[in-house]
Amino acid sequence: MAHRGILVDVTKCIGCGSCVEACQKSNEQPAHEAKGFNEQTYTFLMDRGNDTYVRRLCMHCENPSCASVCPVGALRKTAAGPVTYDPDKCMGCRYCMMACPFGVPTYEWHSAAPRVRKCQMCAHRGAAGPACAEACPTGATITGERDELLAEARRRVASDPKAYFQRVYGVTEAGGTGVLFIGPREPAALGLPPVKTVGPLPDLTWNALKHIPDVVLFGGVFLGGLFWLTKRKEDVARAEHADKGEHHG
């Protein structure tokens, strides 16, 4: 089904930071320097040398493992394309942070009512779409139907083999992502995570979970439940301590 995606063409990026600034405004965050993912930074620029700048943001995976491991459905791939997060459902187990192969979700560790934080493709803007794409002055970040963006990415790469490394990042990574990258060098040289998979990751994730001893899973879910009810870290710390005493004593 047709749904929204984002195409980042690194060859067109001048490193102006308008995307980062627009992201912070769109998400009502105070203006700040963006150096890596954190609770107030959903996108940032990497300076890869030779006037090459590469954005990072949530990849909005076609079959997101963050959503797959979430026991309460707080994260989900919407039909419109964005992978969104509902803080009212979240119980704070943070499995999503462990499951994401791109290292994207972060957590409000110092908040009394902590939430997972990441780009939601500006779902709150509705048809207006991602603020970063609207702000980009060069067309390095554009948005549209994911299928059409993929066709455009392939067309650009094929039409200029000197300018583009011959690959679209996001076709096979994690079984396909809603955010696609093309650029002058291979993805690893651009600083993009080497997530080499041909099928969707959630199945792999669940296979991996099968090998985790039941007591660990039970402990995690139990403690997550406590967290959900109280939203207070002190209680979790106390419960964790008691739990450890029980198992190690």
- List contacts with ligand SF4 (CB under 6 A): 13-19, 22-23, 26-27, 42-43, 45, 53, 55, 57-61, 64-66, 83, 100, 102, 104-105, 118-119, 121-122, 130-132, 135-136, 138, 140-141
Instruction: Kindly tell me which of 153 and 226 has the beta carbon lying closer to ligand SF4.
Output: 153
Q: Nearest distance from residue 246's CB to ligand SF4, in Å? A: 33
Q: Nearest distance from residue 231's CB to ligand SF4, in Å? A: 22
Instruction: Kindly tell me which of 132 and 226 has the beta carbon lying closer to ligand SF4.
Output: 132
Q: Nearest distance from residue 125's CB to ligand SF4, in Å? A: 7
Instruction: Kindly tell me which of 61 and 90 has the beta carbon lying closer to ligand SF4.
Output: 61
Longest pairwise C-alpha distance within the chain:
66
Q: Nearest distance from residue 9's CB to ligand SF4, in Å? A: 8
Instruction: Kindly tell me which of 171 and 239 has the beta carbon lying closer to ligand SF4.
Output: 171
Instruction: Kindly tell me which of 81 and 224 has the beta carbon lying closer to ligand SF4.
Output: 81
Q: Nearest distance from residue 76's CB to ligand SF4, in Å? A: 10
> What's the per-residue H, E or C state across the chain?
CCCEEEEEEHHHCCCCCHHHHHHHHHCCCCCCCCCCCECCECCEEEECCCCCEEEECCCCECCCHHHHHCCCCCEEECCCCCEEECCCCCCCCCHHHHHCCCCCCEECCCCCCCCEECCCCCHHHHHHCCHHHHHCCCCCEEEEEHHHHHHHHHHHHHHCCCCCCCCCECCCHHHCECEEEECCCCHHHHCCCCCCCCCCHHHHHHHHHHCCCHHHHHHHHHHHHHHHHHCCHHHHHHHHHHHHHHHHC
Q: Nearest distance from residue 229's CB to ligand SF4, in Å? A: 25
Instruction: Kindly tell me which of 92 and 105 has the beta carbon lying closer to ligand SF4.
Output: 105
